[in-house]
Structure 1
C-alpha cells in the first residue's frame, strides 16, 4: 500500500509540473502565480503547497524532471555509443539540447540559472548544482566507455576529460539560453564544431 501511495504521489507531482510548465509557456514564468498553477492543474492551492512551497520549488522540480528524462535517454547512448567520438558526443549532447525546451522555456532556464548563482548556498542552488553534476557524470561515463572501446587514448583521464567537455558544451547551452533569438539549429551547429575538435584531440 505504501508503494502504491508513493506512485500516486509521484504521478500527481508530475501532472502538477506538466500543468505548471504549460502555464509558464502561456503566461511567462514571471507573471504566473501559485494560484494560477493550482487552477491550471485543477487542484486547490493547499494541495499544491503539499508538494511545492514556492514557485521557485516548482521551477526546480521542473528542471529535475527535465534532467531525469535526458539522463534516461543518455543511458542508452552510453551503453551502446556510435564508434566515433564526435558522433557519440553529438548523440548524447544533442539529446540534452533538443529536450531542453520540452518543459522549460529560455526564460525559465535563465531564472533557474540566476537563482542558482544569486544564492549559492540555498537549497535551490545546491540541488541545481547536483543536477548539473549528474549530467557531467554521464558525459564522463561516455568518455570512459569510448576509452574501453579503444577510441579515446588510454592516457586521458576519463573523469577530467568528461568534465572539461561537459563544461564546454554547457557554456554553449548557457549562451543559447541568454540569446533569445539564437536557434536550436545554431546551437547544434556549434556543438558539432566543438565535438569535432574534441574528437581530434582525444582520438587514438
Structure 2
C-alpha cells in the first residue's frame, strides 16, 4: 500500500511540475498563477502548497527534473563512451544541450539563473549550485573513464579537465539563454570548436587530420 501511495504522490508531483512548466512558458514566470497551475494539474491549490511554498520552489523543481533526466541519460555515456575523446565529450554535452529546453524556456532559465545569483544561500540557490556540481562530477567521471581506456593521457588532471569543460559549457549556455535568436545548433557548434583545442591537448593519441 505504501508503494502505491508513493506512486500516486510521484504522479501528482509530476503533473504539477509539467503544468507549471507549460504555464510558465505560456504566461511567463511572473504571469503564471498558482491557481491556474492547480487547475491544469487537476489538483487543489492547497495540494500545491503542500509541496511547494512559492513559484520559485516550482521553478527549481523543474530545473531539478530537467537536470536529473540528463544525468540519467548521461550514465550510459560514462559507462560506455565513444572511443574518441572529442566524440565522447560531444555525446555527453549533446545530451545536456539538446534536452535543455524540454521543460524550461530561455525566459525560465534566465529567471532561474537570476534567483540563484541574487539568493545564493537560499534553498533555491543551494539546489541550483548542487545541480551544477553534479553535472561537473559527471563530466569528470567521463574524463576518468576515458583515462581508464587510455584515451586521455595519464598525467592529465582529469578533475581539472572536467571542470574546465563544464565551466565553459555553462558560460556558453548562459550566453545562449540571454539571446532568444541563438539556436542549439549554433551552441553545439561553438562548443565543439572550443573543446577541440582541449581535446588535442589531453588526448593520448592525436587524431590524424583527414585530407
Q: TM-score range by the shorter chain?
A: over 0.9
Larger radius of gyration: 2
Per-residue CA deviation, residues 110-149 of structure 1 (Å, 9 max, x unaligned), is 0000000001111110011001111000000000000101
1:34 corresponds to 2:30 = no
Provide TM-score, normalisation by structure 2: 0.94
Alpha-carbon shift at residue 179 of structure 1 (Å): 1.3
Report SS of the residue matched to 2:101: helix
Alpha-carbon shift at residue 67 of structure 1 (Å): 0.6
Provide TM-score, normalisation by structure 1: 0.97
In structure 1, distance between residues paired with 2:72 and 2:62: 16
Report SS of the residue matched to 1:120: coil
In structure 1, distance between residues paired with 2:173 and 2:179: 10
In structure 2, distance between residues paired with 1:146 and 1:39: 48
Identify the residue that residue 70 of structure 1 maps to in structure 2. Answer: 70
Deviates more, 1:60-69 or 1:4-13: 4-13
Tell me, yes or no, if the aligned pair for 2:152 and 2:203 is still in contact at 8 Å: yes
Identify the residue that residue 132 of structure 1 maps to in structure 2. Answer: 132
Deviates more, 1:25-34 or 1:105-114: 25-34
Alpha-carbon shift at residue 51 of structure 1 (Å): 1.1
In structure 1, distance between residues paired with 2:104 and 2:150: 38
Per-residue CA deviation, residues 30-63 of structure 1 (Å, 9 max, x unaligned), is 2101112111112111111111110000000000
1:103 corresponds to 2:118 = no
- Cα RMSD of the aligned pairs, angstroms, is 1.0
Report SS of the residue matched to 1:20: helix
Aligned structure 1 segments of 4 or more residues deviating by more than 2 angstroms: 1-4
Structure 2 portions without partners, runs of 5+:
205-211
Alignment length (residue pairs) = 204
In structure 2, distance between residues paired with 1:195 and 1:7: 42
Deviates more, 1:68-77 or 1:190-199: 190-199
Structure 1 portions without partners, runs of 5+:
none
Alpha-carbon shift at residue 164 of structure 1 (Å): 1.4
Alpha-carbon shift at residue 195 of structure 1 (Å): 2.1
1:44 corresponds to 2:50 = no
In structure 1, distance between residues paired with 2:59 and 2:34: 11
Alpha-carbon shift at residue 7 of structure 1 (Å): 2.4
Alpha-carbon shift at residue 6 of structure 1 (Å): 2.0
In structure 2, distance between residues paired with 1:117 and 1:56: 13
Identify the residue that residue 207 of structure 2 maps to in structure 1. Answer: none
Tell me, yes or no, if the aligned pair for 2:152 and 2:202 is still in contact at 8 Å: yes
